[in-house]
Amino acid sequence: MQLNQTHDPDRRSWVDSANRPGTDFPLQNLPLGVYATRDNSAPRIGVAIGDCVLDLAATRDRGLLDVDDATANAIREPRLNALMALGQGASSRLRRAVFELLSTRNPTPARAGECLLPMSDARMQLPAAVGDFTDFYTSVHHATRAARAMRPGGELAPNFRHLPIAYHGRASSLVVSGTDCVRPSGQTGPDAAGAVYRPSAALDFEAEIACFVGPGNALGVPVALDESASQVYGLCLVNDWSARDMQRWEALPLGPFLAKSFMTSVSPWVVTLEALAPFRTAPPARAADEPAISPALTSASHAADGAIRIQLQVSLSTAAMRRQGRAAEVIARPGFADQYWTLFQMLTHHASNGCNLRPGDLISSGTVSGADVVDSGCLLERTANGTMPLRLENGESRGYLEDGDVLALRGRCEREGYAGIGFGVCEGEIVPRATDRGP
């Protein structure tokens, strides 16, 4: 991905809100999403610009968007899969066309303005129909602290430094940001009275970054590391809710199941890889005594810019905070650039056995945690499995999430000389199961 005019920090939009300092969606971002309105439930593809959404099909209908027929057909679909299948060339041409349409250099902004609606009027949907969801485990800080928290004396798995570890997740329970998280029930350990299913008492979040697959690869055809970027359509935020008491009991020997499959929240806006070009950076250097990386998982170009600088922010709002009129409290600020394995290495490893990835598949990083425990991307680490509760500013404490808690994840990219861009929000409120809510 090369820098071009769409990354020019001096360009401005005629949409005033896109020029406000700190906006997630300036002219240089242009993420794609799917929305419906109160008047029309049919999903439509839009682009976020400031505090508005641009209806892509409407701009094409008015003759304002110069794209080829394949792209014109794809933007009329109810999900982004068809656009993702066209690859980055089509995505880049669409991005440039939208950029010029929304730029102050557009001589007829009023006509394009007819295709805008306030973001507050958009009911956001899942961006793509996700056929498969894969959740990785790629932060060495998370893997180390989580192992010790889950099982006393636990240490980093011996294979962690050799290959990106992952499991196949449940695609049917992926939900868009804003969907309530219903507290799951399950078995949590040996029980003399029998196998009792009870509501999880250790409900957790996991702050993650994920990518949507673009064109995909044929069955039996691996994806080389230097080709992996061409398979990444764009990135989003993910909160992979986790029931730690269920997970600890059921995970051996086959790994996560009911503790993870009940729900995973996905942010609605997909930030394209091209928009993230200014924020590519070198992955962390490996220590001399660490295992050598497989030649399939390293290259000169990847060593130069295989990581992406994204600053995450996790905030918690309790029911008591909201009653008191208090703002949500930021409880972690982990950075994505220092993951032990990059998204490109994850994708390459995923396809290395010939597994066929398809447009719209979702590949997530696993919990993103910083070196300092205060920047843990989950409560399992931050509270040492609930034994050292997190103290909040209003006097409350949390070992794990309680009913009424709202967990919000945000991500932002900043670099001197470029416009900062963001991902919006990925949030959800914890609610009890209907059978547990009482009269």
φ, ψ dihedrals at 276, nearest 5°: -90, 0
Q: Tell me whether residue 371 is in a domain.
A: yes
Q: How far is CA 296 from the centre of its chain?
A: 26
Q: Do 225 and 280 sit in the same domain of this protein? A: yes
The DSSP string of 136-186 is EE--HHHHHHHHHHHSTT----TTTTTS-EEEEE-STTEEETT--EEPPEE
135 is in an annotated binding site: yes
Q: Do 326 and 361 sit in the same domain of this protein? A: yes
CB 17 within 8 A of CB 23: yes
Measured CA to CA, the distance from residue 383 to residue 387 in angstroms comes to 6
206 is in an annotated binding site: yes
Q: Do 147 and 109 sit in the same domain of this protein? A: no
Catalytic (active site) residue 349: no
Query: What tens digit of pLDDT does each residue of 362-393 get?
Result: 999 999 999 999 999 999 999 999 999 999 99
264 is in an annotated binding site: yes
Q: Indicate the number of domains in the chain.
A: 2
Query: What tens digit of pLDDT does each residue of 219-263 get?
Result: 999 999 999 999 999 999 999 999 999 999 998 888 889 999 999
pLDDT at 439: 37
8 is in an annotated binding site: no
The catalytic residue among 142, 302, 349, 350 is 142
Tell me the CATH number at 87. Answer: 2.30.30.230
Res. 38 pLDDT band, cuts 50 70 90: confident
Q: Please report, for residues 216, 314, 437, the alpha-carbon distance to residue 237 in angstroms, rounded to integers and kept in the order given.
A: 21, 11, 30
Q: Do 274 and 370 sit in the same domain of this protein? A: yes
The DSSP string of 334-392 is -BSTT-SS-HHHHHHHHHTT-PPP-TT-EEE------SSGGG-SSHHHHTTTTTSPEEP
pLDDT at 151: 80
The yes-or-no verdict on residue 150 having pLDDT over 90 is no
The yes-or-no verdict on residue 335 having pLDDT over 60 is yes
Q: Do 178 and 294 sit in the same domain of this protein? A: yes
Tell me the CATH number at 156. Answer: 3.90.850.10
Q: Do 141 and 215 sit in the same domain of this protein? A: yes
Task: Using the 3D structure, point to which of 125, 151, 169 is the last residue of a domain.
Answer: 125
Query: What tens digit of pLDDT does each residue of 389-429 get?
Result: 999 999 999 999 999 999 999 999 999 999 999 999 999 99
pLDDT, mean of residues 124-142? 97
Q: Please report, for residues 51, 58, 71, 74, 138, the alpha-carbon distance to residue 116 in angstroms, rounded to integers and kept in the order given.
A: 10, 9, 20, 19, 39
CB 349 within 8 A of CB 138: no
Q: Tell me whether residue 438 is in a domain.
A: no
Query: What tens digit of pLDDT does each residue of 80-95 get?
Result: 999 999 999 999 999 9
435 is in an annotated binding site: no
Q: Tell me whether residue 436 is in a domain.
A: no
367 is in an annotated binding site: yes
Q: Tell me whether residue 218 is in a domain.
A: yes
Q: Tell me whether residue 439 is in a domain.
A: no
Task: Using the 3D structure, point to which of 101, 125, 149 is the last residue of a domain.
Answer: 125
Q: Tell me whether residue 437 is in a domain.
A: no
Q: Do 111 and 137 sit in the same domain of this protein? A: no
Q: Do 120 and 144 sit in the same domain of this protein? A: no
Q: Do 185 and 240 sit in the same domain of this protein? A: yes
Count CA atoms closer than 13 A to 281's CA, side-chain side: 15
Res. 152 pLDDT band, cuts 50 70 90: confident
The DSSP string of 216-233 is ---TT----GGGGGGGEE
Q: Which residues, listed in sequence order, are joined to residue 33 by a DSSP beta bridge?
A: 46
Tokens of 360: 């719209």
How many beta carbons lie within 10 A of that of residue 261, not counting itself?
17
Structural domain including 157 reads: 133-431
What contacts 405, CB < 8 A, 6 or more positions away? Answer: 316, 317, 318, 319, 398, 429, 430
Measured CA to CA, the distance from residue 411 to residue 311 in angstroms comes to 5
Task: Using the 3D structure, point to which of 125, 149, 183 is the last residue of a domain.
Answer: 125
Measured CA to CA, the distance from residue 406 to residue 423 in angstroms comes to 18
Which of the 8 DSSP states describes residue 13? B
Q: Do 76 and 10 sit in the same domain of this protein? A: yes
Q: Do 238 and 117 sit in the same domain of this protein? A: no
180 is in an annotated binding site: no
3-class DSSP state for residue 261? helix
137 is in an annotated binding site: yes
Element (H, E) at 213: strand 207-213
pTM of the model as a whole: 0.96
Q: Please report, for residues 7, 27, 58, the alpha-carbon distance to residue 111 in angstroms, rounded to integers and kept in the order given.
A: 25, 18, 11
The DSSP string of 390-439 is EEPTTS-EESS--TT-EEEEEEEE--TTS--EEEEEEEEEEE--GGGS--
Q: Do 251 and 356 sit in the same domain of this protein? A: yes
